[in-house]
Amino acid sequence: MNQHRLATLLMSALLPLGAPAYAQVQSANVTGGAVRGVVANGIASFKGIPFAAPPLGSNRWRSPQPVVPWTGVKSADTMAPACVQDIALAARLGAPKMVSEDCLYLNLWTPAKTSHDKLPVMVWIYGGAFVLGGTNWPLYDGTRLAEKGVVLVSVAYRVGAFGFLAHPELSKESGSGSGNYGLEDQIAGLRWVHDNIAKFGGDPRRVTIFGESAGGISVSMLAASPPARGLFQRAISESGGSLAPPRTTSGAQGVPTLELAEKAGEAFLASLGVSDIGAARALPAEKILAAAQKVRGGGFWPTLDGHVIVGDEYELYKAGRFNNTPVLIGTNSDEGALFVPPKVTPSAYETQVRNTYGEKADLILAVNPHATDEEAHRAAKNDFRDSVFAWSTWRWASLQSQHKGSGKVYLYYFDRRIPSAPDGASHATEIAFVFRNLKDSFTPPSDADEPLSELMSSYWVNFAKTGDPNGSGLPHWPPFSDAQPKVMHFDQTPSARDAVPNMQQLQALDEYYAWRRAQVAKGK
């Protein structure tokens, strides 16, 4: 045997022992063309893959259109800009200052060695009140979650006026309502995953959608949306649900009716100085963004269009009309801290409650002590937490668990307390724990955070693998039901406990929302 052949054999024998086991899925042919990713430490990342045509010109305010094919091999090594939004606000949350109307791209991280690995898939939907957010935020880097054996995908969607403008002309143009382009982007991303994920070692029959805040609300909406049926097999919602009654007047909470959203769209076009959609499509994106920033409260939200959102989600769940999958859902203990000013007086709190809850205000005031400034501040925070996040989450869990044969429900309560957050975990603080990206956390990490992050990410990944978060070495997490309301608490001593937190406040809100729903039925 010659020396060259002997050296080759020796190297072949030694490489498996001494070389790192890098991922082998480095390139793929996907819808539109070929892409090549980057491999580092056993994870292949693919960034900036287009999943729809750029929503520019005549495609502005249209359902996502098919990908424009490309020639050659696209180098998928750079994240695309976020969709057009307030750059200054996003930057304060750690986001890159890159936005564009050409933004319908996704990112992907895979530990697969071959395209035949059939790993579970997790598709991330970012939050941001439907007016900001992006896949390019460092907090959402999928590397460390993918290390646990999942293919991680993050999907961009249009926000603000670009993603959620309704208008009679747009409804007529589509034939199926308007105002849900951002949600349709998410569905288009899921279709791309269904068609292409196997080429990255993912299993298209084990897809979990997960999101936080507006992303969690999106998950809730997709869980009851006919166009999304079959595109995912599990759902995780962090601080998000959409079970409040439809909104028929401005200023109320909930999904607006198409009629209300179209009227708001007509007013928005008037503020732009144009009279029709064609003229609005010809305007630069910067002018639309500037006008949108002047709309009170953001002004843009998904719409009850009859196509993507087909009805009152509460009633849909009561009737069993939802996409039946296991769900893992929950909220944080001090969600309101991010949204409520640091000083609230008792009189200011009472005025706010009476303006918000009308003739049911005394119900809310009775369960939220507010005699002092300190109590009023806590009451305002807790009322925000419960009305915006916790009530919908609890009701979602309750309604789904009542249907025999429905996917199991796993309910959690994230209650990390540190000296700088003595009242509990603020909105969005769980994200860094789930992604294992504590260095990018909104609050400084502590010594106890690493074990908690490992615990939570393991539950999330186990759920993606099997539809059940439980696994070896983890505290047992029982499914939720009204009869056995088990809730997993993530705090200093993580464990499942026997009652839903803040139940007195949730029951008061339940009575309020029942009244609101009756008012809507009467046309009020």
Q: Per residue in 45-104, pLDDT tens?
A: 999 999 999 999 999 999 999 999 999 999 999 999 999 999 887 788 778 889 999 999
| Percentage of the chain modeled with pLDDT above 90 | 88
Q: Containing H/E element for 7?
A: helix 3-18
DSSP assignment of 170-184 equals: HHHHHSS--S-HHHH
Per-residue pLDDT tens over the stretch 490-510: 999 999 999 999 999 999 999
Number of structural domains the chain divides into: 1
Could you tell me if 76 and 37 are in contact, meaning their C-beta atoms sit under 8 angstroms apart?
yes
Please tell me what DSSP assigns to residue 421: B
Q: Residue 522: which pLDDT band, with cuts at 50, 70 and 90?
A: confident
* Residue 108 in domain: yes
Considering the domain boundaries, does residue 151 fall inside one? yes
Q: Which candidate, 36, 195, 209, 240, places its Cα nearest to that of 120? A: 209
Structure tokens at 108: 């992907």
Residue partners of 243: CB distance under 8 A and separation at least 6 = 220, 313, 314, 317, 391, 392, 395, 396, 399, 513
Mean pLDDT (whole number) for 323-334: 97
Q: To 10 degrees, what angle do helices 214-222 and 181-196 make?
A: 70
Q: How far apart, in whole angstroms, are the C-alpha atoms of residue 406 and residue 10?
A: 56
Q: At what angle do helices 391-401 and 503-521 cross, to 10 degrees?
A: 80
- Residue 397 confidence (pLDDT) above 50: yes
Provide the Cα torsion 497, 406, 229, 116; round to 10°.
80
Which residue in 167, 335, 392, 458 is the catalytic one? 335
Please provide the DSSP assignment of 228-275 as one string.
GTTS-SEEEEES----SPPB-STTSSSPBBHHHHHHHHHHHHHHHT-S
In a domain, 222, yes or no: yes
Which H or E run includes 162? Answer: helix 160-164
Examine the pLDDT at 44 and tell me if it is beyond 50: yes
- Does 420 fall in a domain? no
Q: How confident is the model at residue 431 (pLDDT cuts 50, 70, 90)?
A: very high
CB 185 within 8 A of CB 155: yes
* Model confidence, pTM: 0.94
Domain range for 223 is 23-325
* Active-site option among 45, 174, 178, 213: 213
Give yes or no for a contact between 222 and 187, defined as CB atoms under 8 angstroms apart.
yes
* Helical (H) or strand (E) element with 509: helix 503-521
Residue 242's Cβ-side half-sphere holds a number of Cα atoms within 13 Å equal to: 31
Alpha carbon distances (Å) from 79 to 82, 214, 363, 470: 9, 21, 48, 34
In DSSP terms, 247 is beta-bridged to 256
**Does 411 map to a domain?**
no
Q: Are 474 and 495 in contact (CB under 8 A)?
A: no
Residue that the structure tokens 């005031």 belong to = 365
Confidence of residue 444 (pLDDT cuts 50, 70, 90): confident
pLDDT exceeds 80 at position 256: yes
Strands 43-50 and 38-40: antiparallel
- Tell me, yes or no, if 489 is annotated catalytic: no
Report the percentage of the chain scoring pLDDT > 70. Answer: 95
Catalytic residue among 167, 370, 377, 427: 427
How far, in Å, CA of 282 to CA of 288, rounded? 10
In whole angstroms, give the CA distance from residue 467 to residue 358. Answer: 41
The answer on pLDDT for 439 being more than 70 is yes
**pLDDT, position 521:** 86
- Can you list the alpha helix ranges (DSSP code H) found in 358-415? 361-366, 373-384, 391-401
C-alpha 177/C-alpha 196 separation (Å) is: 29
DSSP class of residue 498 equals: S
| Res 445: pLDDT | 83
H helices of 467-502, in order, are none
Residue 283 lies in a domain: yes
Confidence of residue 15 (pLDDT cuts 50, 70, 90): very low
| Amino acid identity for residue 151 in this structure | V
Task: List the structure tokens of 55.
Answer: 């929503």
Q: Does residue 14 form part of some domain?
A: no
Is pLDDT larger for residue 210 or for residue 524?
210
Cβ–Cβ < 8 Å for 10, 17: no
State the Rg of the chain over Cα: 24
Q: Are 261 and 303 in contact (CB under 8 A)?
A: yes
Asked if residue 169 lies in contact with residue 81, where contact means CB atoms within 8 angstroms, the answer is: no
* pLDDT, position 23: 52
Residue 389 DSSP code: I
CATH number for the domain spanning 235: value is: 3.40.50.1820
Asked whether residue 456 is domain-assigned, the answer is: no
Give the pLDDT band of residue 153 (cuts 50, 70, 90): very high
> Which residues have C-beta within 8 Å of that of residue 486, sequence separation ≥ 6?
411, 477, 478, 479, 480, 496, 497, 498
Told to judge if 45 belongs to the known catalytic residues of this protein, a careful annotator would answer no
CB 480 within 8 A of CB 409: yes
Residue 258: closest CA among 314, 325, 311: 311
Burial pattern 206-233, b for ≥16 Cβ within 10 A else e, equals: bbbbbbbbbbbbbbbbbbbbebbeebbb
Query: Does residue 335 carry a catalytic annotation?
Result: yes
User: What average pLDDT does the chain have?
Assistant: 93
Q: Give me the pLDDT at residue 250, please.
A: 72
Say how many residues make up the chain: 524
| Residue 20 pLDDT exceeds 70 | no
* pLDDT at residue 87, as a whole number: 87
Average pLDDT of span 361-387: 98
